[in-house]
Amino acid sequence: MSQPIDTSYLDLDTKDETFLDSTEMVLNMGPQHPSTHGVLRVILKLDGEKVLGTECVIGYLHRGVEKIGENRTYTMFNPYVDRMDYVAAVSNGLGYCETVEKLLSAEAPPRAQYIRVILTELCRISSHQVWLGTHALDIGAITPLFYAFRDREEILKIFEKYCGARLTTHAFRIGGCIYETYDGFEQDVKKFCTFFLPKLDEYEELLTTNRIWVTRTKNVGVLNPEDCIALGVTGPVLRASGVKWDLRKAQPYECYKDFDFEIPTGVNGDTYDRYLVRIAEMRQSVRILQQAVEAIPTGPIMAKVPKVIKPPVGEVYHSIEAPKGELGYFIVSDGSTQPYRVRVRPPSFVNLQALDKMVRGLLVADVVAVIGTLDIVLGEVDR
Amino acid sequence: MLDAVKNYLNSSVTPGEAGSQLWATVYIVAITLGVSVAVICMNWLERKILAHMQIRLGPMRVGPHGLLQPIADALKLLIKEDIIPANADKVVFWSAPVVVTMTAFTTFLVVPFGRTHAVTDMNIGVLFMLGISSLGVLGIIMAGWSSNSHYPLMGSLRSSAQMVSYEIAMGLAIVCAVLMTSLQTGTGTLSMIGIVEAQSAQGTWFIFKFFPLGFVAFGVFAIAMIAETNRAPFDLPEAESELVAGFHTEYSGFRWSLFFLAEYSAMLAVSSIAVTLWLGGWLRPFANTLSGSAWDLAFSLIPALSFLAMGAGCFLGTIRMPKIIQMRVQTIGLGVFGALLALIGLTLLLPGVRERVQDIYWFVAKVACFMYLYIWYRGTFPRYRFDQLMKVGWKVLLPIGLAVLIATAVVGLRQELWAAIVGVLQ
Amino acid sequence: MSVTPLLRKVFLVDLLKGMSVTFHNQSEKERITEQYPLERPVIFENYRGQPRLNTNPDTGESLCIVCNLCALACPEQLITVKGERNPVTKRKEVVSWTYDLSRCMFCGLCAEACSTDALELTQDYELALYSRDGMVLDQAALERGPEPVRYER
Q: What is the pLDDT of residue A62?
A: 92
Structure confidence at residue C135 as a pLDDT band (50, 70, 90): confident
| pLDDT tens digit sequence for B177-209 | 888 888 777 678 888 888 888 888 888 888 888
Does position B300 have pLDDT exceeding 80, yes or no?
yes
Q: Do both B75 and B149 map to the same domain?
A: yes
Does position B237 have pLDDT exceeding 70, yes or no?
yes
Q: Do both B140 and B195 map to the same domain?
A: yes
CA nearest A68 in C: which residue? C75
Q: What is the pLDDT of residue B410?
A: 87
Q: B interface toward C at CB cutoff 8 Å? A: 49, 52-57, 60, 322, 324-326, 376-377, 379-381
- In this complex, the residue of C18, C22, C31 whose CB is nearest that of residue B57 is C31
Q: Do both B141 and B187 map to the same domain?
A: yes
Q: Cβ atoms within 10 A of the Cβ of C136, count? A: 15
Structure confidence at residue A138 as a pLDDT band (50, 70, 90): confident
More confident residue, B48 or B356: B48
Q: What is the pLDDT of residue B366?
A: 93
Q: What is the mean pLDDT of residues A163-175?
A: 90
Q: What is the pLDDT of residue A16?
A: 45
d(CA A316, CA A102): 7
Q: What is the pLDDT of residue A13?
A: 41
Report if residue B10 sits inside a domain.
no
Cα–Cα distances (Å) from B32 to B19, B29, B111, in that order, read 20, 5, 12
d(CA B271, CA B102): 18
In DSSP terms, C100 is beta-bridged to C136
CA nearest C31 in A: which residue? A150
Highest-confidence segment of A84-98, B75-89, C88-102: A84-98
Report if residue B2 sits inside a domain.
no
Cα–Cα distances (Å) from A102 to A96, A108, A174, A333, in that order, read 10, 10, 10, 12
Structure confidence at residue A10 as a pLDDT band (50, 70, 90): low
Per-residue buried b or exposed e for A15-37, using 16+ beta carbons within 10 Å of the residue's own CB: eeeeeeeeebebbebebebebbb
| pLDDT tens digit sequence for A38-65 | 888 888 888 877 888 888 889 899 999 9
Q: Do both B278 and B229 map to the same domain?
A: yes
**CB-CB under 8 Å, C107 with A78:** yes
**CB-CB under 8 Å, C15 with B53:** no
d(CA A338, CA B358): 82
User: How high is the ipTM of this complex?
Assistant: 0.87
**CB-CB under 8 Å, C18 with A206:** yes
- In this complex, the residue of A150, A160, A205 whose CB is nearest that of residue C21 is A205
Cα–Cα distances (Å) from B189 to B106, B116, B223, B336, C113, in that order, read 21, 18, 24, 47, 88
Structure confidence at residue A14 as a pLDDT band (50, 70, 90): very low
| pLDDT tens digit sequence for B398-418 | 999 999 999 988 888 887 788
Is the distance from CB of B221 to CB of B176 less than 8 angstroms? no
Is the distance from CB of A127 to CB of A149 less than 8 angstroms? no
Does position A124 have pLDDT exceeding 90, yes or no?
yes
Structure confidence at residue A1 as a pLDDT band (50, 70, 90): very low
Which stretch of A4-13, A246-255, B74-83, B220-229 has the lowest confidence by average pLDDT?
A4-13
The sign of the torsion formed by the CA atoms of A93, A95, A96, A97 equals positive
Q: What is the mean pLDDT of residues B349-377?
A: 89
Q: What is the pLDDT of residue A7?
A: 54
**CB-CB under 8 Å, B381 with A363:** no
CATH number of this structure's domain A65-355+364-382, picked from the four choices 1.10.645.10, 1.20.1060.10, 3.30.70.2860, 3.30.465.10: 1.10.645.10
More confident residue, A14 or A306: A306
- Chain A interface includes C21 (CB < 8 A): yes
Q: Do both B212 and B331 map to the same domain?
A: no
Report if residue B289 sits inside a domain.
no
Decide: pTM greater than 0.80: yes
Structure confidence at residue B320 as a pLDDT band (50, 70, 90): confident
- In this complex, the residue of A29, A145, A215 whose CB is nearest that of residue B388 is A215
Does position B299 have pLDDT exceeding 80, yes or no?
yes
Q: What is the pLDDT of residue A22?
A: 59
Contacts of A317 by beta carbon, 8 Å cutoff, 6+ apart: A99, A328, A329, A330
Residue of B49, B55, B324 to mutate, interface with C, max C Cβ within 10 Å: B55
Does position A3 have pLDDT exceeding 60, yes or no?
no
Dihedral angle, C-alpha C3, C4, C6, C11, nearest 10 °: 130
- Gap from C39 CA to chain B (nearest CA, Å): 10
Q: Do both B88 and B180 map to the same domain?
A: yes
**What percent of chain C stands above pLDDT 70?**
95
Which stretch of B376-380, C80-84, C86-90 has the lowest confidence by average pLDDT?
C86-90
Report if residue B215 sits inside a domain.
yes
Q: Do both B266 and B306 map to the same domain?
A: no
| Among A361, A362, A354, A366, CA closest to A135 | A366
| Among A68, A28, A23, A69, CA closest to A48 | A23
Structure confidence at residue A9 as a pLDDT band (50, 70, 90): low
Q: Which of residues 107-126 of C touch A (CB under 8 A)?
A: 107-109, 112, 121
Which stretch of A134-148, A294-308, B7-21, B342-356 has the lowest confidence by average pLDDT?
B7-21
Report if residue B1 sits inside a domain.
no
Q: Cβ atoms within 10 A of the Cβ of C2, count? A: 6
Does position A122 have pLDDT exceeding 90, yes or no?
yes
Q: What is the pLDDT of residue A11?
A: 46
Q: What is the pLDDT of residue B386?
A: 85
| Among C99, C97, C98, C94, CA closest to C49 | C99
Residue of C105, C110, C121, C122 to mutate, interface with A, max A Cβ within 10 Å: C105
Q: Do both B308 and B385 map to the same domain?
A: no
Q: What is the pLDDT of residue A21?
A: 56
| pLDDT tens digit sequence for B267-290 | 999 999 999 999 988 888 887 777
| pLDDT tens digit sequence for C104-131 | 999 889 998 888 888 888 888 888 888 8
- Gap from C17 CA to chain B (nearest CA, Å): 10
Would you list the domain boundaries of chain A? Answer: 65-355+364-382
Q: Do both B38 and B160 map to the same domain?
A: yes
Q: What is the mean pLDDT of residues B101-128?
A: 88
Q: Do both B80 and B37 map to the same domain?
A: yes
Report if residue B288 sits inside a domain.
no
Q: What is the pLDDT of residue C1?
A: 54
Residue-range definition of the domain harbouring residue B308: 300-349
Strand, coil or helix: B347:
helix
**CB-CB under 8 Å, C112 with A165:** no
d(CA A303, CA A328): 23
d(CA B339, CA B345): 10
d(CA A114, CA A123): 14
Q: What is the pLDDT of residue B218?
A: 92
Does position A12 have pLDDT exceeding 50, yes or no?
no
- Chain A interface includes C10 (CB < 8 A): no
Report if residue B91 sits inside a domain.
yes
Contacts of B260 by beta carbon, 8 Å cutoff, 6+ apart: B39
Mean pLDDT value across chain A:
88
Q: Which residues of B touch A150 (CB under 8 A)?
A: 55
